[in-house]
Amino acid sequence: MFVVFLGAPGSGKGTQATSLAEKYGLVHVATGDLLRDAVRLGTELGAKARGYMERGELVPDDLVVAMVMDRLSQPDAARGVVMDGFPRNLDQARALDRALRERGLAVDLVIYLRVPDAVLVSRLAGRWECPSCRTPYHEVSSPPRVAGKCDRCGQPLVQRPDDRPDTVRRRLQVYLEQTAPLLEYYREQGVLVEVDGDQPIPEVSRQIVAAVEALKRGGPRG
Ligand code: AMP
């Protein structure tokens, strides 16, 4: 099973992709996390990607596509994949389709998390995460049990540098210009399922699982 999450920054892709991957034993591939790891480790990729990420721009396709292909060629990816943050433009979507076709696979399901802009902005502004296990938190809607500490591993929580208001505005603009056209691309392929992402997390999860179950039954997809 190959599932792609689409949605603006702050739409809940990371949260939902993590729990979906856990539930079905799939591999969660989050390009933002892979790139942040590369920056933290000071790799060549990290050095090239850093400036784009800080400005809220997309990292060039050749770098991101190579990184994703490398990840997909690792043995665990054969279990099935939940992609989060990729593809982010049409060229990336076509590169993914080509790579999957070569392996006799295809994107089976695209979950689009629809969330109003005003909600996205407030979510991103209050967002914190654990730098170690990546558990996401929000000051208001899902605070940690102990202020500033991860519930799972006790690490001090951090805010992403690209969650600053000016960068958030740019990321939303980039999403609208470059990523939103993918909705039409996947709708035409008949694999797009739209989910209202402005609901409590368990309800969003329930609807996503329902879409996966419908896919497994071979029923209608959208
Ligand atoms: P995310 O964690 O998915 O919001 O990604 C954080 C940042 O990483 C983005 O603002 C981009 O700079 C970069 N990034 C993540 N995924 C991609 C991608 N598929 N293509 C280009 N840049 C990406």
Backbone φ and ψ for 196, nearest 5 degrees, come out as -70, 110
CA distance 62 to 134: 26
CA of 56 to the centre of ligand 1 (A): 8
CA-to-CA separations, 177 to 58, 106, 215, in angstroms, rounded: 11, 25, 30
CA of 98 to the centre of ligand 1 (A): 21
The partner residues of 137 in beta bridges, in order of sequence, read 128
Protein residue closest via CA to atom 6 of ligand 1 = 32
Residues 25-55 have pLDDT tens digits of 999 999 999 999 999 999 999 999 999 999 9
Give the residue extent of every domain in the chain: 2-115+181-217
More confident residue, 219 or 26: 26
Enumerate the active-site residues: 13, 88, 127, 160, 171
* CATH 3.40.50.300 fits domain 2-115+181-217: yes
pTM for this structure?
A: 0.91
Residues 84-135 have pLDDT tens digits of 999 999 999 999 999 999 999 999 999 999 999 999 988 898 899 998 898 9
Residue 179 CB–ligand 1 contact under 6 Å: no
